[in-house]
Structure 1
Amino acid sequence: MNPAYVAFEGERRIAAGDLPEVVRTAKQLLDRRKDAAILVFNGHTSALVDIDYRGSVDDVLKRLPKPAAAPAEEPPAPAAAPRGPGRPRLGVVAREITLLPRHWDWLAQQKGGASVAIRKLIDEARRSSGDKDRTRLAQDAAYRFMTTMAGNRPHYEDAIRALFAHDRRRFAMLIADWPADIRDHAISLAHSDQAD
């Protein structure tokens, strides 16, 4: 399982863990070495995290972005309140979708109506494509990280091809001579679809 956040200073991984822990380590290094160039990555997506390192460690930590709440699979149970007539609140969000007339005709014939049919279709698609989605997200995260940290390394383009071709052996062989921390993190990201 990849850590929530990872910090690199050049070719060296200097911290991994939750964002405050990683930023604290990065700030302490920057206070010792003003010329240090530190990149902080989201450990799951490899998106770069912009950190304002001005001021003290406490100042930096106060300015950190607040973590987004993880989306719940099921809406939380509503607080026990006196119920009136009508349907209970289920956390349903109404939005507009565009379908062709034949789609609306098919949905109208489904038991429970269009909303129930669409929810069932989405749930089934999520179940059936879960492995493909995890693999795609792992490849995208590895690609983002490699592009940022190793875009000028030998065999970079061939390694990207091997990554997207699902050729793990060739991928590992092509990046074997990269700096250890970059290589190991790229492999960890590429294989993160196997964590579940």
Structure 2
Amino acid sequence: MPQGAGVTAFAGTRLIARGAPLDVALAVKAALEGGESASVLVFDDRDARPVEFDLRGRPADVAARLAADAAWQSQTEESAQAQPDEPDAETPRGRGRPKLGVVAREVTLLPRHWDWLAEQPGGASVVLRRLVESARHASESKDRVRASREAVHRFMTAMAGNLPGYEEALRALYAGERTRFEAWSVDWPEDVRNYVRELARDAFA
């Protein structure tokens, strides 16, 4: 898990710890060693994905493993995202011109698309980049709604599947009806209800 990503731990339906992964891991370890009998689940606050900690050994052992895991994941993500910088195929890089991080890849279009691109100022690459950026901005709101709903669904499946109103709340979630969603979840255990509503902050935009 990347450094800075917050997590939340529940024992049954009670929130027992929240914060940085190491802090929560040590709190969970202390709770289990103190006799906590309820099932403990930990969730990533970004997307409600389950998080597992290796709690064996001393607190220092737990901290060392978490640091190693975070470093490995960070390195893996950087390697996966790394792309060789190549000059724009239509704009050769002159002496002293800094690399811009552009990547040359094949694009397949119909002839009429190429004809249209050829008529645009700046060349095909400039136009395509501008179109991609425009599409990205246009979809940001929808992407936030989708990600929020997926996180809520994931958490509800793990924590609220047996609670009254679960199916109705889920239908209200995907229908974009915040009032109905909150009405069906109002009687859920307080910590579960509060956390699921936090996850749903962008689900009804």
Scaled by the length of structure 1, the TM-score of the pair is 0.79
> Which structure's residues are more often helix, by fraction?
2
Correspondence for 1:50 among 33, 52, 60: 52
Deviates more, 1:97-106 or 1:52-61: 97-106
Q: Report the CA distance shift for 1:63/1:94 in structure 2 as closer, same or farther (over 3 A).
A: farther
Aligned equivalents of 2:6, 2:106: Cα separation in 1: 34
Which amino acid counterpart does residue 21 of structure 2 have in structure 1?
L
Task: Report the counterpart of residue 146 of structure 1 in structure 2.
Answer: 156
Q: Report the CA distance shift for 1:111/1:144 in structure 2 as closer, same or farther (over 3 A).
A: same
8 Å Cα contact 1:15-1:26 kept in structure 2: yes
Q: Does 1:25 align with 2:35?
A: no
Classify the secondary structure of the residue corresponding to 1:26: helix
Q: Does 1:60 align with 2:70?
A: no
Task: Report the counterpart of residue 117 of structure 2 in structure 1.
Answer: 107
Unaligned runs of 5+ in 2: 79-93
8 Å Cα contact 2:176-2:203 kept in structure 1: no
Q: CA deviation at 1:86?
A: 5.9
8 Å Cα contact 1:28-1:57 kept in structure 2: no
- Could you tell me the percent identity over the aligned residues? 48
8 Å Cα contact 2:177-2:204 kept in structure 1: no
Q: CA deviation at 1:185?
A: 0.6
Correspondence for 1:130 among 127, 140, 157: 140
* Matching of residues 185-196 of structure 1 within 5 Å: 185-192=195-202
Could you say which structure has the greater relative contact order, defined with CA pairs below 8 angstroms and 6 or more residues apart?
A: 1
8 Å Cα contact 2:178-2:204 kept in structure 1: no
